[in-house]
A and B are shown apart, each in its own frame.
Chain A
Amino acid sequence: MAATIGDLIADLHHDSAHLGSPGRGAVQAQTHLVAWRHLAHATATVLDNLCIPLEEPAARVGEAITAQLSEIADASRGYRAQPAEALLGLSVRVGAIADLLATVPPPTTPQDIASAQGVQSSVLACIHAAARHTLPVLAGKPAGGALRQLADDTRVFALAPPGQYASRYFDLAAIDARDASVDGAVCAWENAARDVLQGRHLVTAVVFQTVAADLAVVTAAAAAITERIAAAHPDLVAASLAQDAVASLTTARDRWRDASIWPDGLRYRGVKSTDLQTASARMRATLQGEFRRDGRWMTDQELQQGSSPHHNLAVLRRSIAAAEKVGKHHLAGFTQAAFGQDRLWIKARLLTSLEQTSPNTWQVAGRDGFLRYAWETHRARPLLEITQDASVALTAAANIFNLTAATPPPRLAAGVSACPWEAVTTRLPLHQDAAQRSLHTPTRPADGWKIG
């Protein structure tokens, strides 16, 4: 099973909460400074990769903290020592989070921005713990002042229990296409579909239909399993949200079903490639093994014998995200077939007499009774429209489905109080969505952030 950002953050919080005594003395100071060089670099990379829009308060917080981290890293230059093990462990996890975030496009929607803030807050809460851990060692040292400032400025993020922070980015995982999981199979299929659809000479009529059918399979799985999980776990997915997600996924499924059955007599030839067929078969077999039994979708009880509802939802969200990308490749490929190159042909004898005699409509090529495609009267036109509808429906479904990630999973259940965290309230500008921001963004003091 691939580690997700959520897993890494949960581990990070656990380790931060269990940092032992740092010890004292010159040697300890050096080992901690050297470790902070790694931790500061990894944390700055996380903040950088989150790409929170500059007009957001969280971006200004990130910039100020990055400057402090830079100062601490500078102070550690010239020291040669084994880095303190506990801090090094934190920096490895923070670095892994940074790597995973490198694949994420800059957030633009309010939901994505809130998600980015969720990750930022979670990581900075741990940085606060690490800074507090190190302060006794560096008291009186040059980096001590910067570290004190860092601890002060990140304190606000550590005032909420980890479970309060939610983010759709928590689903992101480092997935190996060879992994024998749904994630691995979908990743391999996504790669194969992208390569074939972008390979001008590999795409064929069968490829277009196969990819469309696969997209229907993935969306059908997401709709069916979400419906079952939502019915059994209303605490995990709100009923109204689940209803919207299932409806949008079902619409996308139906559109891709339509796109998977081409009208008679269309030809789009390419070079034989079996990679997509292999990856497609593997993905379907994996989805069936994970989510189906005896020719039907599993019940919630049956699903729980394999994985938790939260895990299944995260897997399906990742699958839909992959499917959305493939859907866009499919649309781009088919549009190219329809408008760009001239390899889309139609069986001549299927044309109506009107189509055959219409001027400027057909350029007769006469090969195997097929004629070169011409857009004006071609019966592939509805197919292009269906494909466009399907791609749009899948993007809409992915956006709605992503909202199901907003409910935080139970993390660090042991030792974390279940009581409401009343200290975190919003004092944000009125134009911002306070209800949403309160979950992700820590309190902004009335007199502004004490940073910079």
Chain B
Amino acid sequence: MTQTPARDLRCAAGHLRNARAALRGQADPGGEFDFLNSDILDVEAILLYQAGGESEPIPAEGRTPAESVALAAALLEAHVQSVPLAAWSGLRLIQQRVQ
């Protein structure tokens, strides 16, 4: 359900946090985790600066990183005008890397 832009941005940040936590538990032979973790944090920071407050706690429910990132993107799609462009460009790159 779509809510206020600020709350959805915080929820999107919560999904991104879940994506990072899920990535932490995965095998990482190429050493990609640390860079991806920081890149996702970048997007979280942009969203939270925009929305104010902290990311909403979202139950992870066993989602994969890709699923969590997709849910975050879906929430943001509902508020395109409220989402800074830097968050979009960061999110698109993250989506490609967590596939």
**Residue ranges of A at the interface with B (Cβ–Cβ < 8 Å):** 205-206, 209-210, 213-214, 216-217, 220, 224, 253, 257, 260-262, 264-269, 272, 274, 277, 280-281, 284, 288, 292, 295-297, 347, 350, 368
Contacts and interface: CB of A to CB of B under 8 A. Distances in A.
B31 A257 contact: no
Given A206-B44, A213-B41, A217-B35, A261 B54 contact: no
B88 interface: no
24 contacts: A206-B45, A206-B48, A210-B42, A213-B34, A213-B37, A213-B41, A216-B34, A220-B31, A257-B34, A257-B37, A261-B20, A261-B21, A261-B37, A264-B14, A264-B55, A266-B54, A267-B54, A269-B54, A277-B46, A296-B30, A296-B31, A297-B30, A297-B31, A350-B57
Most B CB contacts (10 A, CB to CB) among A205, A206, A261, A274 go to A206
Contact of B38 (A214, A269, A292, A295): A214
Given A206-B41, A210-B45, A280-B42, A257 B33 contact: yes
Contacts of A206: 41, 44-45, 48
Interface in B17-43: 17, 20-21, 24, 29-35, 37-39, 41-42
Nearest to B90: A281
A295 B32 contact: yes
A261 B48 contact: no
Given A265-B57, A268-B54, A274-B49, 20 more contacts: A205-B54, A206-B45, A210-B45, A213-B38, A213-B41, A220-B31, A253-B34, A260-B20, A261-B37, A264-B55, A264-B57, A266-B54, A267-B53, A269-B53, A277-B42, A280-B38, A284-B35, A297-B30, A347-B57, A350-B57
- What is the interface of chain B mostly: helix, strand, loop, or mixed? helix
Nearest to B40: A213
A257 to B, nearest CB: 6
Nearest to B33: A257
Interface string B51-67: 00111011000000000
A261 B33 CA distance: 12
B38 A210 contact: yes
A368 B17 CA distance: 20
B4 to A, nearest CB: 13
A292 B31 CA distance: 9
Question: Residue among A209, A253, A268, A297 with the most chain B CB within 10 A?
Answer: A209
Contacts of A216: 34, 37
Contact of A224 (B17, B31, B55): B31
Contacts of B42: 210, 277, 280-281
A216 B38 CA distance: 9
A213 B39 CA distance: 9
Nearest to A265: B57
B48 to A, nearest CB: 6
Contacts of A264: 14, 17, 55, 57-58
A84 B64 CA distance: 71
A189 to B, nearest CB: 11
Nearest to B52: A269
Nearest to B48: A206
B41 A210 contact: yes
B20 A217 contact: no
Contacts of B55: 264
A220 B24 CA distance: 14
Nearest to A224: B31
B37 A260 contact: yes
B92 to A, nearest CB: 15
A364 B42 CA distance: 32
A295 B30 contact: yes
Nearest to A215: B34
A6 B42 CA distance: 37
A386 to B, nearest CB: 13
Nearest to A256: B34
A261 to B, nearest CB: 5
B49 A272 contact: yes
B44 to A, nearest CB: 6
Contacts of A297: 30-31
A265 B57 CA distance: 6
Nearest to B58: A264
A281 B86 CA distance: 12
A350 B45 CA distance: 22
Contacts of B14: 264
Contacts of A253: 34
A309 to B, nearest CB: 19
A277 B31 contact: no
